[in-house]
Structure 1
Amino acid sequence: MNLEAFKHIFYRMPIVVRLFLSVCLIMLFFGTIIHLIEPQQFPSVFDGVWWAFITGATVGYGDYVPLTATGRVVGILLILSGGGMLTFYITTLAAKTINHENDLSEGKVSYKGKQHIVVVGWNERTKQLVEMIADKDANQEMVLIDRSLNKLQYRHYPVHFIHGDPSEDAVLVQANIEEAASVLISTDITLEERKADINTILTTLAVRGNNQDIPINAEMLTISQVENAIRAGADTVISSNDFMSMLFYHELFHKESTRPFESILNLLKQQQFSHTKLPEELEDSSYQEALTFFLANHELLLGIIRDNKWMMNPSGDTKLDRDDTMIILSAW
């Protein structure tokens, strides 16, 4: 278990449980030390831990007492720290724990993990995305950057929250962008479309400036700004308005017996798209033969990309070229 995973588990525990674990750890430390110093007087580590708890609580039953000078020095150290540990020390630890938890929820704590997904912007779309990723892989770490959100409890959503402007280098450093696996930049729906796209482009530039190799997925609202997002460094531009317009069109003019929205939604939930170069054994073969080839591997061939032109569901006798890219649909 790495440090970030331990933090996520530890800080989701109730405060009382966290304090109890801290007290046990310190008592175990003193109990082990006194056992090693005076093994005859304290035959086992448990006897030492029992003495540490009794001494730290200032009860002092007297059933276990250190006899050597070194053992008594350990006892003095325990007394000096023990009372404070169960009173002042515990309250201090509680205050620090609560403050740190508040800092986490308010987005003030830097992220130290690696291979995480950075999500920019908190809205209903990214909220559902976080839940989908968590359901698919509970071990996948996610970092959320948002400037409008003031607080986000980890126990409610499994993301490390960073509060700030994602176009600023300091905020991206807090999110440890150099060690991230990928970035998704969601558009700010509270802004006018053009301004929201400009903010997305600025964020893309900032991310690319801090990490030259990270895959960047950017959502854009206006078609005129798509090329600028690509120039800024976005690897994939998601034109949400285009997608929704096409979906509306299908809903308005689909055949009476079909349900386009539900079909697309379930398709994307259960299957994934992939692009692959034409296998050598399929060179000079027909599209029909390629269909059979991929079906044998439980994959569905949807079309071909040839010379940057998309050929979806071409005729079965279409000849395949060596440089063709196959559009495949397969299970997650």
Structure 2
Amino acid sequence: MIWYKWIKFYFHLPVIVRLLLSVTLLMIGFGYLIHMIEPEHFPTTFDGVWWAFVTGSTVGYGDYVPLSFLGKFLGILLILAGGGFVTFYMATLSAGTIKHEKNLTDGKISYKGSHHTIIIGWNERTKQLIQMIRDHKHNADTILIDHTLDQLSFHKHSIHFIHGLPTSDETLKKANIREAKSVIITADPTLTEQEADRQTILNIIAARGNNPSIHIIAEILTEIQRINAMRAGANVLVRSNNFMSSLFYQSLFQEDVQITDIIAKTLEEQQFCSEEIEDALTEQDFYFCAQHLLKDGKWLIGLIREKEIILHPSFSLQTKKDDKLIYLIPTDHANKHY
């Protein structure tokens, strides 16, 4: 009965572990036998095991050689049996490595880390975001979930790819969403604006349902779905259509100024940050707070009060206890905080 349990346990092990265990036991067995047959040439069992591994792997250093007929016959059996096992083990290990690499590229491998960022949707915005994360050398891993891609090279993009629907619990579990720090949901460019927003809201619900405390940033295209996206559980909404309309307007009436270059340079060299207001800055006017933060190289541009963003308020505006300050900081200086 005990042997049956051991055999059952053995066959439940992964194939690569079973092969390694079989090769090890086989070599130990041959090493012990050659030590018993020719103790004068193989003084210890370890010497015999060394000879078995060297002979079975067809390396053949020649430092230990059997001299008796029985020892040589044992060596023949070792080459026939052990050599085949070792070769099969090496082939299986190589095939397993290649298969794992293919599964990783195909998005079939689950992510086991934590405190990572999950990005939903593969498009130009996603590519630029990944490049920015890579350029600024953030330590947290980035996971991509997408169902339209068939393959994505990990070595080329430095991102862990999960293939599947972002509304599927199984897909989100593969991305280990319960241990994730944040989720970024981009609008699907293959759908109409209304359909893309509805899909985004479903993605928000699925992410929030799998991790109630995760920070969700979502892209919404239409104003009518903004409230629904907040109700679904989004913490931050990026309304790209509003931004693009404003950019077109500025470019239309500021023909002598390259607005896009200014914005790109600002985003490249400056980083938006927010933080809880300090006690020393509570019940102070906005001008005093701006002067205080400027000493640390922070350019105060607004605040968040009761979920409302107030940009460039009057200098006389009084701050309150639960306010959050919004400021710009040079990117190089901001990276030191990560």
Work out whether the TM-score is over 0.5. yes
Distance apart, 1:309 and its partner CA: 5.3
Distance apart, 1:54 and its partner CA: 3.9
Distance apart, 1:196 and its partner CA: 1.3
Aligned residue type for 2:123: N
The alignment status of 1:292 with 2:318, answered yes or no, reads no
Separation in 2, partners of 1:193, 1:211: 27
Separation in 2, partners of 1:289, 1:172: 46
Separation in 1, partners of 2:53, 2:291: 72
Q: Deviations over 1:272-313 (max 9, x none)?
A: 223344433345544333322111111111134456655433
Aligned residue type for 1:179: E
Distance apart, 1:75 and its partner CA: 11
Equivalent residue pairs, number: 297
The alignment status of 1:165 with 2:168, answered yes or no, reads no
Which residue pairs with 1:261 in the alignment? 260
Q: Deviations over 1:164-219 (max 9, x none)?
A: 11101111111111111111111110111111111111111111111100111111
The alignment status of 1:302 with 2:301, answered yes or no, reads yes
Which residue pairs with 1:98 in the alignment? 98
Distance apart, 1:138 and its partner CA: 6.0
Q: Structure 2 unaligned segments of length 5 or more: list them.
A: 1-19, 36-40, 68-73
Q: Structure 1 unaligned segments of length 5 or more: list them.
A: 1-22, 68-72
Which residue pairs with 2:252 in the alignment? 252
RMSD over aligned Cα atoms: 3.7
Which residue pairs with 2:8 in the alignment? none
Q: Deviations over 1:53-91 (max 9, x none)?
A: 641343545322589xxxxx99987974444324x3322
Distance apart, 1:48 and its partner CA: 9.6
Separation in 1, partners of 2:203, 2:313: 39
The alignment status of 1:243 with 2:243, answered yes or no, reads yes
Which residue pairs with 1:225 in the alignment? 225
Which residue pairs with 1:326 in the alignment? 325
Q: Deviations over 1:114-161 (max 9, x none)?
A: 111111111111112112212222643111111110111111111111
Q: Secondary structure at the match of 1:190?
A: coil
The alignment status of 1:84 with 2:113, answered yes or no, reads no
Which residue pairs with 1:122 in the alignment? 122
Task: Tell me which structure has the larger Cα radius of gyration.
Answer: 2
Q: Secondary structure at the match of 2:208?
A: helix
**Which moved further from structure 2: 224-233 or 277-286?**
277-286
Paired residues for 1:3-14 under 5 Å: none
Aligned residue type for 1:98: I
Q: Secondary structure at the match of 1:155?
A: helix
Distance apart, 1:50 and its partner CA: 8.1
